[in-house]
Every structure is written in C-alpha cells, then in structure tokens.
A = this chain, B = another copy of it.
Amino acid sequence: MTKERDTKEQLLFTSSKLFQKQGYHATGLSQIIKESGCPKGSLYYHFPNGKEQLAVEAIERATKMAQEEMSKVLVQENDALKAIDKLLEVNESFELDMEYDGVPVSLLALETSHMNENLRLACLEACVVLLDEIANKLIESGWPKQAADEAAQFIFFVVEGSLILAVTSLSKEPMKLARRQIMEYLNMKLKGLD
C-alpha cells in the first residue's frame, strides 16, 4: 500500500548494496536513482540531508539485516564453536563480487571514519552489534565476558582481514584459511579456559 514505504525501502536497499560494494565516494546519487528506479525528488524528500543521511540509514539497515542473519545461524547450533564455524561457512558462500545485501562495513569504515563523524559512528555501531552477537553466543556457552569479547574481536579481525586478500586475489582461499585458523585459535582458547 503506502507507496512511500516502498520507495524509501527501495532506496535504502539499493544504497546499502552499492555503498557496501563500491564505497561511499564511488557511489553517486545518480546511480542510486537509476538502479532503484526512484526519482531524485523522492530521494531528497525521504532523506533531506542528502547523501550522508542516506548512507547512515543504509548502514543501519544493513546492520540490522546482518544481525538477523547472524542470529538465525547462531541459534541453529547449541555449541558456540560449532555455531561460529557454521557462521564462517555461510560467510564463505558469499560471492566475491559482493552482490548481496550483507555484512561488510570495512570499506565504508576505512573510507569515512576520518572525514565524517556520523558515518564513522554508524560503522562503529555496526561493528559493535556484530561483535556482541558473537560474544553473547560465547558467553552463553560459559565463556567469561572478557575472553568472549576478545574472541569476538579476533574473529572480526580475521574475517575482515581475509576478505581484503580474497577480494584482491579474486580467490576464496583466504576465507577458507581464515576459517580454519579461527577455529584452531578458538579451540585452543577453549582448552585454556578450564
């Protein structure tokens, strides 16, 4: 019904995809207009603060989506480590061209955090949410809070870092290696907890 919701949602969907794939500066409003099918007038009606506001809300939307996706996977396995391995397996299945509506804020974070505080904060919130999702799963499994937080950050580091090499080498091998190494590390940590 309410067309405005569709328009705004379509705008956010398209923006979210393009910003994640191409970055903030490489993505023009004209491209968003064209690919979303929405007119320019609507863009500035729904996002009167222009590109920045659009990007912030696109990041927020992507964060929510990613959180739900992660949560869905994490509840499937009771054991935290198995659940995380499952998460990494799903992560591997993403295509390298990043034609999906998903996780990585790396590019946007690196691009914008030194030049736009609002965008930086949106990216930070995204990181925090995803880190918490993992940390909480570990805490539920009995990990102490600090160990869980650090492990979550570790996973974030390796996943995002491997993505860089994967994209650069056009290969998924780095992501596979990353998965093995993460599980190796977590199992080591788990042993040390008792």
Contact = CB atoms under 8 A, between A and B. Distances in A.
Interface of A: 21-26, 97-98, 105-107, 109-111, 113-115, 120, 123-124, 127, 150, 153-154, 156-162, 164-165, 167-170, 174, 177-178, 181, 184-185, 188
Identical chains in the assembly: 2
B150 A111 contact: no
B106 A164 contact: yes
A157 B169 contact: no
A102 to B, nearest CB: 14
Contacts of A113: 167-168, 170
Contacts of A25: 23, 25-26
A156 B150 contact: no
Contacts of A106: 106, 110, 164
Contacts of A170: 113, 120
28 contacts: A22-B111, A23-B23, A23-B25, A23-B111, A25-B26, A26-B111, A26-B115, A105-B168, A106-B106, A106-B164, A109-B167, A110-B110, A113-B167, A120-B170, A150-B181, A153-B165, A153-B174, A154-B158, A156-B161, A156-B165, A157-B157, A157-B158, A158-B161, A160-B161, A160-B164, A181-B185, A184-B185, A184-B188
